[in-house]
Structure 1
Amino acid sequence: MELNEFLSKIKGRVLIAGIGNSLRADDAVGSYIVKKLSNEKIDAILVDCEDQPERFIEKIVHHKPDTVIFIDALHMNHEPGSVVFLEKKDLYHTGISTHQTNLKMCIDYIKSRIKTEILIIGIQPENTDFGNRMSEKILDVAETLKNILIKALLLSRF
């Protein structure tokens, strides 16, 4: 889906869940974005799931958000730094999370517990080797996405 369509689906109480392992270079991108957003004045609940989103399902459900946005590095065979905006149904056909627990299973469980719109921002990593830092390309993409989310969440509230 295109960015504008993605943004139009963000409604009501918003929870942004970043997924990432800070020890695996670009894999950290979801967590990195959520940490950067925590310094901003936005109308959203922020959850850093690190590399185990399954451990945060109950916290997500507890908040009863109208919209959940997962941000994660996805291996999609695209150019590094490519970004895709997905709905739950798209995840079954596109991309594989870099994490042990299947993101699809987490989403299915959340959907079984609460009525919420689930959206996913997937970023194609350049490097997920253990012990490396995030690449400049992915840091630039993270900054752009952070700014898009700030603008969307501030504007959607007025």
Structure 2
Amino acid sequence: MELNEFLKQIKGRVLIAGIGNPLRGDDAVGSYIVKALSNEKINAILIDCEDKPERFIDKIIQHKPDTVIFIDAVHMNHEPAAVVFLKEENLLHTGISSHQSNLKMCIEYIRSKIKTEIFIIGIQPENTDFGKSVSEKVLGVAEILKNILIQALKK
């Protein structure tokens, strides 16, 4: 889905969940973006799941969001820092794989408990080696996405 189509579908109470392991380079991008957004005045609930989204399912459900946006490093065989905007069905029913195989189960469980629209912002990592920092390419796209979300969700 294109960026403009994605932005038009964000409605109501919004929850953004960042996913990523802070010790594995670009894998940390989802957490990085959520942490960066926490300093901004936006109409969204922010949760940094790090690399354990399953631990935050109940918290997500308790907020009863109309829209849930997961931000995650996703291996798509694209150029590093490529971004895709996916509806949950795209993750659940295609070959696109997140580094978090349990994200699919988390989405299915959330869907079984509350009525919400679920989206994934997937970012192609360049390097997920242990002990590495987020790469310059992925940091650049993370800043752009942060600014897009600030504009879309500003108070």
Q: CA deviation at 1:94?
A: 4.5
Q: Residues 71-150 of structure 1: matches in 2 within 5 Å? A: 71-91=71-91, 92-99=93-100, 101-150=101-150
Q: CA deviation at 1:34?
A: 0.1
State how far apart, in whole Å, the 2-side matches of 1:60 and 1:102 are: 15
State how far apart, in whole Å, the 2-side matches of 1:60 and 1:10 are: 16
Render the CA deviation track for 1:80-104: whole Å, top value 9, x for unaligned: 00000000111121421113x4211
TM-score w.r.t. length of structure 2 = 0.97
State how far apart, in whole Å, the 2-side matches of 1:94 and 1:152 are: 29
State how far apart, in whole Å, the 1-side matches of 2:125 and 2:113 are: 31
Render the CA deviation track for 1:53-97: whole Å, top value 9, x for unaligned: 000000000000000000000000000000000001111214211
Q: Work out the percentage of aligned pairs sharing the same amino acid.
A: 75
Number of equivalent positions: 154
Paired AA for residue 67 in structure 2 = T
Q: Secondary structure at the match of 1:49?
A: strand
- Runs of 4+ in structure 1 deviating by more than 3 angstroms, as ranges, are none
Q: Residues 44-83 of structure 1: matches in 2 within 5 Å? A: 44-83=44-83
* Corresponding position of 2:13: 13
Unaligned 5+ segments in structure 1 are none
State how far apart, in whole Å, the 2-side matches of 1:106 and 1:32 are: 21
State how far apart, in whole Å, the 2-side matches of 1:89 and 1:129 are: 29
State how far apart, in whole Å, the 2-side matches of 1:84 and 1:95 are: 11
Paired AA for residue 98 in structure 2 = S
Q: Secondary structure at the match of 1:16?
A: strand
Render the CA deviation track for 1:9-36: whole Å, top value 9, x for unaligned: 1000000000000000000000000000
- Alignment RMSD: 0.9
